[in-house]
Structure 1
Amino acid sequence: MTRDTQRRGEELRTHILFVAKSVFLEAGFERASMDTVATRAGTSKRSLYAHFESKDKLFLAVLDLVRELYLGKLMTPAAYADEPAEAVTRFCGRFQQLILWEPQVRTCRLSISVAERLPGSAHAYFDAVFAATHERLRDYLAQNYELDAASVAEDLLARTTLPRLYRTLLAVAEPLTEEPDEKALAGHVDLDAIRRVVTATLPDRR
């Protein structure tokens, strides 16, 4: 296989994943078909199956793509501010903003809907979004505070995000429909409320 052929193969695989992501979100797992993905991607079923041997494998690969896109947008707490408490505040706010964005809410619902049939996919989504976020916050807290970083990170994420997420998943509250641009963070989430939780939880570093 030449380098050009390999690159074209990688580009097609990535293209298929973005198309499949849209198909799964629009149709749901059960109604989404490999035929539809192939047609929408402008490729043959033979080519599609050469990259992904089953719909299950394709769905898991889509979740890997979701993880890559999500973590690229989330970054780490250190990227948001120099002062640790403010960095944690904005990181938790950014997590809430991203997880409440409509496509992400639909992805979460989709993963829940197939959890019994494909428990591996639900685990993959949890690891991609929740576990990875917890890990980044835990590591930052461990570097900047003397505390039980793992439990404090879990507590902060739960208190600042889960109530609103639950309401959104159950359609009690509306998801965010605008692109979750970091510049719009203050308009999408209540940073003051998150700041109060963070300030009350983290020890004074002075």
Structure 2
Amino acid sequence: MATTRKQGRPKSEEKYHLILHAASCLFLKEGFANTSMDTVAKASGVSKQTVYSHFEGKDALFKAAISSKCRSYQLDTQQLIDATSGSLSLLECLRKVGCQFVRLLQDPEAIAIFRVIIAEAVNSPHVATLFYQAGPEASLSTLSDVIEKFGEGSLSRDIAQQLAVDYCALLKGEYHTMMLCGIQSPLQDEAITAHVNSAAEKILLLFTHYTQQRN
């Protein structure tokens, strides 16, 4: 009797995620400088050639790890775009994105990678650049696209970009610095909602101000 093969992810996709997970753990534990493609291959149980077949180098692997973490909190480009494809208002969209952003900020792995970046930034600013490009810059760019879209032509690209930056700054506040210093406990859902609502309403006021100026 013929056996039915269990359906699942293709082996190449499974290895991709296996490598990415192993690399993420190593970057957190050892830092960027002390993590090599050899150690990633050993930790993931594949050959070095297999690692290179999925990632062209350590830079690409690191950026993929950062992007993956953002994606897990629905803060990657496509998911941010999807957030505005329905019937959400700008305020509702800001609240949705804001809550996920705050949860990402207080994720233990996200805090750990921030600390790694800070520790290595002086001697290796290249690492900080990779982190910024894959995480904050990518999300800010898409969020500004979302805000500009809601402006319906009455908001310049520069203003939309500034509103995105301002929103993220309001969400971080002193809370994020305290989290990095280990003197702030993670916010619970009710506190997250209150914090995000306050920040979102301030950005909506600025958004309304700028759009009315152009009309």
Considering the TM-score relative to the shorter chain, is it more than 0.5?
yes
> Given the alignment of the two structures, is residue 150 of structure 1 paired with residue 161 of structure 2, yes or no?
yes
Question: Could you give the per-residue CA deviations for residues 48-106 of structure 1, whole angstroms, max 9, x where no partner exists?
Answer: 266349xxx33541322321441362221416861112212321232122122111111
In structure 2, the residue matched to 1:200 is 205
Q: CA RMSD in A?
A: 3.3
**Alignment of structure 1 residues 13-162 onto 2, 5 Å:** 13-30=16-33, 32=35, 36-43=39-46, 47-48=47-48, 51-52=51-52, 57-58=57-58, 60-71=60-71, 73-74=74-75, 75-76=79-80, 77-78=83-84, 82-145=88-151, 146-147=154-155, 148-162=159-173
Bigger relative contact order, structure 1 or 2, given CA contacts below 8 A and separation 6+? 1
The code of the aligned residue for 2:205 comes to A
Percent identity, aligned pairs only?
Answer: 20
Q: TM-score, normalised by structure 1?
A: 0.72
Q: How many residues align?
A: 188
Alpha-carbon spacing, 1:120–1:32, altered in 2? closer, same or farther (3 Å): closer
Q: Residue in 1 aligned with 2:7?
A: none
Tell me how far 1:13 sits from its aligned partner: 4.1
5+ long unaligned stretches in structure 1? 1-6, 177-183
Is the CA contact (8 Å cut-off) linking 1:52 and 1:58 kept in structure 2?
no
Whole-Å separation in 1 of the counterparts to 2:61 and 2:36: 15
Looking at structure 2, the residues matched to 84 and 138 of structure 1 have their Cα atoms a distance apart, in angstroms, of 12
Shift of 1:31: 5.1
Q: For 1:18-38, what per-residue CA distance to the aligned partner results, in whole angstroms no more than 9, with x for missing partners? A: 112112213334555666544
Unaligned runs of 5+ in 2: 1-9
Q: Which amino acid aligns with 1:133?
A: S
**Cα shift readout 1:129-178 (whole Å, capped 9, x = no counterpart):** 111121111111111123321112111211222432222112222357xx
* TM-score, normalised via structure 2 length: 0.70
Q: How far is the alpha carbon of 1:125 from its aligned partner?
A: 0.9
